[in-house]
Chain A
Amino acid sequence: MKDWRYWLADQRGTLLAVAIFLVMFATYVGNHPAGFTANVVQTAANKGVLLAFVAMAQTLVIITAGIDLSVGMILVLTNCLASWIVVGTGMHAAAGVLGVLAAGLLCGAINGAIVIYGRLQPIVATIATGALYFGIALMLRPFPGGSVHEGLADALTGRIFGVIPASLVALAAVILLIWVPFRRSQIGRTAYAAGSSETAAYMSGLPIRRAKFVAYTLAGLLAAVGGLFLTFFTYTGEAAYASGSAYTLFSIAAVVLGGVSLYGGSGSAVGAVFGALAFRTIGDLLFVFDFEPLWQPLFQGVVLLLAVSLGALGLFRVRNRLEWFR
């Protein structure tokens, strides 16, 4: 087989996600009264990138065959934190941004330490740490409020040269600065190997624990980037339980749509990003086709259920029934 065919087989999930997104977005723009203008794209981008960051975070952990049910709560926590510290003069706000990112890293590192060195199951452990992070968020912001450095917020949510949405540029920068180096490093390859077959990875002498720890920690960082952008969009901090759990749920949906295997070991954060953008476009589609807004949660739930059921198509390839049980 030629090189490009290997590449195609490897990237099938990601390419499918890109295709789904393009079709959905074209339908959306085609039916939008304003058409394909910079304004429409900017609004769509700003809505989509939040989920895209959280979906990238979830991808890193799912690749190692784990799961992080606290990503949404890290987003909420960093949102509340940012509404306190990303204020004041330019220098002060910049330090605040670093502080928020450090808080995200710390949350992720706590998850990683508990799951890997504490040997607890990721599901239960991250539900519990999620409660912990939400508690801290509530302490920071018992009531919605706070503010954010407006110059920075407007710069990152506006348009560059009046055309390109700045939030998309930020998303691309994060992919290039965090995801690509991770994917190409030994740690990243180990994360894939550990998700695919932990025993084999161990036998090959790969640093499994370190790789998993890095994956959980970076997931915290990416969720914090999401929290930062949430603050830039809303100008406030709010400790909303419903919003945190919705982001966690949608991140898993985006990852599934993005072609990342929930059993670990395959998929790409780029796919998850397009999965997230596609998932957000569902809501926009309902809008342009004049659906009752009330139906949106049901519609999203049904799409999610159908998307995860697509995984069942693989059952047709199973020759031996014992392969049902992994």
Chain B
Amino acid sequence: MSDASMERFHRLPKVLRRADPAVLTAFACILVLLAFGSLYSANFLSPEYLLQQLKVASFLGVIATGMMLVILLGHIDLSVPWVVTGGAMMACAVTAFGPVATVLAIPAGIVFGLAVGVVNGFGVAYLRIPSMIVTLATNAVAQGLMVVYTGGFSPRDTATGAMRYVATGALVSGVPNAVIVWALVGAGMVFLLTRMSFGRAVYAIGNRERAAYLSGVGTRRVVLIAFAVSGALSALGGVLLAGYASKAAQGMGDAYLLPAIAAVVLGGTSILGGKGSYLGTVAGVILITLLQSILSVMQMPEAGRQLIYGAVIIAMLLLYGRTPAER
């Protein structure tokens, strides 16, 4: 940075100076979207509508939290679609095994995601296969498992009361439970990333795994745990979704892969790893949810949504997601 720009930099208020420009851009885009939406519908800015948006955002938020952890390592988790679906299906399925199993529905869904995540992490960390490939393969395996499972016999696909309560109820009146779940998951992730040595190791590996390894970090263990956490959170997202829709369905996770990656990357986390903050991911999730909401308020057909969606993500990435020029 040149001296002149340094000087200008110091004149900014402290809060702005410390903030990541990408996160600020993301929040600015949120404001623009809100203003744009209010032109279409007067109740776009009403508290009820915004709270509803936050509730819808919380499903994506939980999934994107896991994705962020993996992206910070410089890896990617493409197994989200069928881990989300599988988590939801498994949670609904165990209700067939009596009342005790019904209580364990939510943990059962999460355990499914955890298991897929461990396979992902093992492949990436110990077998050194590129993460994109392993997670694509486990996604295919998870899909195969679910096809066999739903095709062989008629499964139970109704969500339990507990799942519905967690996704749609309100413990504190006015604040949906799903938002509380997202807040808890988010607080946990912030604590993990900023206050624990595990989080430091994640950033270190994302910057240069070789250096982290030479510094005595058990890099393989860290990568394995990160993928396991990502899988578990994807499945939790699926469980919440099943509670929200009160049933599990094939393909319910397909719509969450691209948004999860986009939310993380639009929030300023480098896709190469090692850089990014959870605040940015929150901004990215809200941004994506608002964009989807506006497109549906405008009654845009699916084709137009896909188009605008892809175009907006590319445009925003070109704005601030470019890798530095080499040489």
Contacts and interface: CB of A to CB of B under 8 A. Distances in A.
Interface of A: 67, 114, 118-121, 123-125, 127-132, 134-139, 142, 202, 239, 241-242, 245, 249, 252-253, 256, 262-263, 294-302, 304-305, 308-309, 311-312, 315, 321-322, 324-325
Given A121-B272, A128-B258, A252-B136, A297 B144 contact: yes
Given A130-B310, A135-B304, A142-B303, A121 B271 contact: yes
Given A131-B309, A300-B144, 15 more contacts: A118-B314, A120-B317, A123-B76, A128-B314, A132-B307, A202-B327, A239-B303, A245-B254, A249-B136, A249-B140, A305-B137, A308-B133, A315-B127, A325-B210, A325-B213
29 contacts: A114-B318, A118-B318, A119-B324, A120-B318, A120-B322, A121-B323, A124-B262, A124-B313, A125-B314, A125-B317, A128-B313, A131-B313, A135-B305, A138-B306, A139-B303, A142-B301, A239-B303, A242-B251, A242-B254, A297-B148, A298-B144, A298-B148, A299-B144, A304-B137, A304-B141, A308-B133, A308-B134, A308-B137, A312-B128
Given A301-B137, A308-B123, A309-B127, A123 B310 contact: no
Given A123-B76, A249-B140, A128 B317 contact: yes
Contact of A295 (B137, B148, B318): B148
Contacts of A67: 132
A197 to B, nearest CB: 13
Contacts of A121: 271-272, 323
Given A119-B323, A120-B318, A308-B134, A302 B271 contact: no
A257 to B, nearest CB: 12
Q: Which of A119, A299, A312, A321 lies at the interface centre, i.e. has the most chain B CB atoms within 10 A of its CB?
A: A119
Interface in B186-201: none
A232 to B, nearest CB: 25
B303 A263 contact: no
Main secondary structure on A side of the interface with B: helix
Interface in B284-327: 301-311, 313-314, 317-318, 321-327
Nearest to B212: A325
Nearest to A262: B130
The binding surface of chain B is classed by DSSP as helix
A305 B307 contact: no
A256 to B, nearest CB: 7
Given A131-B309, A297-B143, A305 B325 contact: no
B204 interface: no
Contacts of A295: 144, 148
Contacts of A249: 136, 139-140
